[in-house]
Amino acid sequence: MNIAEIGLGGDNVRRADGLPRWLGGSRYAVAFWITLARYRPQSISVHAGHHHFEGRCLTVTVANGQFFGGGMWISPHSDPGDGVLDVQISTGPKRQA
């Protein structure tokens, strides 16, 4: 497993899948800007170990690796060799995405 996302990230992948293949890895970057403009934060509740988050967020990322989707750097602290998955919750504002 590399990365799983819900929210903005999941919508971005769905939109990228609908873009022309000739765009290559840049499909994800193009889809990101289209998706970001239309996306609205969602209310969530996340329990991970002893940590709990409840509120509105842009995306929840569970990552084993740092990069995905043609080289987008999504989880800078993830390390596939450390034996743990990192959970990252992005609460915004959208300009930080």
Q: 51 forms bridges with which residues in the sheet? A: 48
According to DSSP, residue 29 is labeled: H
pLDDT reported for residue 2: 87
Which amino acid would we find at residue 75? Answer: S
2 vs 95, residue with greater confidence: 2
- Buried b / exposed e over 27-37, threshold 16 CB at 10 Å, is bbeebbeebee
pLDDT at 70: 66
37-85 pLDDT, tens digit each: 999 999 999 998 899 999 999 999 999 988 876 677 888 889 989 988 9
Is the pLDDT score of 34 beyond 90?
yes
Q: Are 32 and 19 in contact (CB under 8 A)?
A: no
The confidence score (pLDDT) of residue 47 equals: 92
Q: Is the pTM of this model over 0.85?
A: no
